[in-house]
A and B are shown apart, each in its own frame.
Chain A
Amino acid sequence: MKKTSGFIKNIINNKVMLLMVLPGALWFLFFSYLPMMGAVIAFKEYRFSRDGFWASIIDSKWVGMDNFKFLFTTNDAYIITRNTLLYNGAFIVLGLILSVLMAIVLSEIVNKKLAKVYQTGMFLPYFLSWVVVGYFAFSFLSSERGMLNQVMEFMGMESVQWYSEKKYWPFILIFVYLWKAVGYNSVVYLAAIMGIDKSLYEAAMIDGASKFQQIRNITLPLLNPIITIMTLLAIGKIFYADFGLFYQVPRNSGTLYSVTNVIDTYVYQGLKTTGEIGMSTAAGLYQSVVGFVLVMTSNYIVRKYNKDSALF
């Protein structure tokens, strides 16, 4: 009895804030939590029923963990897991360093007009779909008419069959990813730098701190919370690979598979002929659960050091 009245009191005390989260919370309920019930398909062999989707789910037979098997029982399981983790790991680390660097560079450039021009330029790759990016990569790397080979021949080097040489692809893929993502991500850090109280820099100037000391002692520490959040969120997605990047850019070249096949491309190729939605749901669930565990662990560690930077 006492407990419930305490609860009601809490509600009343927090009513303004609750009102603020209400629209968003309802949205999450409808667009995320209600559909989540459908994840039960991952444990079913889905067959259509005349009476619609929910009836189909109920009628379909339980198959336990069978739908997950195809992710683990193959010889490629190690390769796709390794590729996904290593590429995403590289993307997180290098992406972070380059984005922050670029944000600091842009914020420090004296001529703000030029800085704006650079920044607009960096954003353009974000607009090109992976299909189009794939064309470009091809116009550079094509062995017959590609610019890279033409330049290399001109300089007296031997031309390379780019689309069948595995060893170059980890670098190519990382380069293309960074090329596309850095401009977009640096906006967040740039905005964070702009939000820093200018008086801090003034005080540092008076103390005689050099520009680089200011960056190290003021800018970076104050970027810390946003860097932590962005990284934590990226860790949650570490088991999801960007399908377009790994499928369109290497032109689905078979000889490159051992360095380009990731979980998402594997699932796509594997389910193309059978089209079992149970299995694709299972793959998604697997990716989510692993991401979830990793984020919870990292978040726990972050909380230990700095409660304010943690996700929750």
Chain B
Amino acid sequence: MSSITKKERDFHHLSKPWNVVFNLIAGIFAFLCVFPFLFVVIISFTDEGVLARDGYKLIPEKWSLGAYRYVFESGDMLLRSYGVTIFVTVIGTIVSLLFIAFYAYAISRKSFRYRNFFAFFAFFTMLFNGGLVPTYIIVTQFLGLKDSIWALILPLAVNAFYIMILRTFYSTSVPDAIIESGKIDGAGEFRIFLTLVLPLSLPGLATIALFSTLGYWNDWFNALLYIDNPNLVPLQSMLMRIETSMQFILQNSQNSSLSLEALRSMPQDTSRMAMVVLATGPIIFAYPFFQRYFIQGLTVGAVKE
């Protein structure tokens, strides 16, 4: 089996010089992208005093773990936030994948009479929304989700953008013939979907799952809106709260009580960067899990025949 795949790939090989050129293009761009992140890591390990004096430096005069010590002092608060974020991300991705996979499949099928209606029904929500307050009322008063972990999951569960992308994946990578052959074999619609369509659409599903995972991981706004209980605050929301509050206090320095307040509670540059590192680190390790579906591709042939 593996030898067959290898042979298949041989058809694909680029000539050597072009391979070098392609490697350079991707490598340089990747470096540009990684570099600032490395910088974040370096700053987070820089000594505070040195940072204040010299500004951002690639190789600081003095290294320090102080920022991390400071962040971890809040101890269980941080761990709990990790817990919330991970829970919301895992459950959220599963829930949203279920919603989206079914919806997108239905509107990708030409035999579905109302496909255009439901495509429009979804698409319309991408453009129009009722604004913050009405949404807030529906979620808190109608659905009763205030201060509930579901307020972090449900509002992001469905997304018309993902539906439209996934629909295109279904209709391009799943030939009608396959569905027809399934029907001839007497399989019901659900079985066709699960056994024939899903395996063929793995790259698309992985893409949507990845986007959804990142969406949940990076989300801070829903927590800002719906969560008052400090024990339910996810990581990014905590980070964002600290950032915006700092900016806010700086902008109101005219107020003497507030500017004196700032003296006490202003987080240091280094600890803010340490929080960025802590908030991003784990998800980077989750990335390869999705990646194999859209770097290596599938051995599609086996499924199709």
Query: Given A131, A133, A139, A277, which contacts B55 in the complex, CB threshold below 8 Å?
Result: A139
A229 at the A/B interface (Cβ < 8 Å)?
Answer: yes
Flag if B284 contacts A120 (CB, 8 Å).
Answer: yes
With A and B bound together, what is the CA distance between A30 and B301 in angstroms?
Answer: 42
Known A110-B19, A128-B37, A139-B56; judge A277-B133 contact (CB<8 A).
Answer: yes
Flag if A10 contacts B113 (CB, 8 Å).
Answer: yes
Flag if B169 contacts A187 (CB, 8 Å).
Answer: no
With A and B bound together, what is the CA distance between A115 and B9 in angstroms?
Answer: 15
Number of A-B contacts (CB under 8 A): 298
* A277: chain B residues within 8 A (beta carbon): 131-133
B161 at the A/B interface (Cβ < 8 Å)?
Answer: yes
Residues of B272-288 at the interface with A, using a CB-CB cut-off of 8 Å, are 276, 280, 283-284, 287-288
Closest beta carbon of chain B to A35's beta carbon, Å:
3
* B160: chain A residues within 8 A (beta carbon): 28
* B298: chain A residues within 8 A (beta carbon): 194-195
* B31: chain A residues within 8 A (beta carbon): 121
Closest beta carbon of chain A to B173's beta carbon, Å:
4
Q: How many residues of A contact B (CB 8 A)?
A: 96
Flag if B291 contacts A119 (CB, 8 Å).
Answer: yes
Closest beta carbon of chain B to A289's beta carbon, Å:
8
Interface-forming stretch among A18-26, A71-79, A82-90, A162-170? A18-26
A301 at the A/B interface (Cβ < 8 Å)?
Answer: no
Interface-forming stretch among B86-94, B122-130, B225-233? B122-130
Flag if A192 contacts B14 (CB, 8 Å).
Answer: no
Query: Given A108, A121, A191, A199, which contacts B169 in the complex, CB threshold below 8 Å?
Result: A191
Query: Given A14, A125, A205, A288, which contacts B33 in the complex, CB threshold below 8 Å?
Result: A125
Query: Given B112, B287, B294, which contacts A190 in the complex, CB threshold below 8 Å?
Result: B294
Residues of A116-130 at the interface with B, using a CB-CB cut-off of 8 Å, are 116-129
* B137: chain A residues within 8 A (beta carbon): 35, 38, 53
With A and B bound together, what is the CA distance between A119 and B29 in angstroms?
Answer: 10
Closest beta carbon of chain A to B263's beta carbon, Å:
22
Flag if A194 contacts B203 (CB, 8 Å).
Answer: yes
Closest A residue to B34 by beta carbon equals A121
Query: Given B12, B116, B287, which contacts A120 in the complex, CB threshold below 8 Å?
Result: B287
With A and B bound together, what is the CA distance between A252 and B34 in angstroms?
Answer: 26
Query: Given A36, A139, A312, which contacts B123 in the complex, CB threshold below 8 Å?
Result: A312
Closest A residue to B200 by beta carbon equals A195
Flag if A114 contacts B23 (CB, 8 Å).
Answer: yes
With A and B bound together, what is the CA distance between A16 and B192 in angstroms?
Answer: 12
With A and B bound together, what is the CA distance between A2 and B102 in angstroms?
Answer: 31
Using an 8 Å CB-CB cutoff, how does the interface string of B125-151 with A read, 1 for contact, 0 for none? 111111111110111001100000000
Flag if A121 contacts B30 (CB, 8 Å).
Answer: yes
A58 at the A/B interface (Cβ < 8 Å)?
Answer: no
- 14 A-B pairs besides A35-B131, A194-B298 with CB distance below 8 A are A21-B107, A24-B102, A31-B155, A34-B138, A105-B26, A127-B280, A128-B37, A129-B243, A131-B247, A132-B276, A139-B55, A202-B8, A211-B18, A225-B171
Which 4 residue pairs of A and B lie closest in terms of their CB atoms, listed nearest first? A38-B134, A35-B130, A121-B30, A24-B103
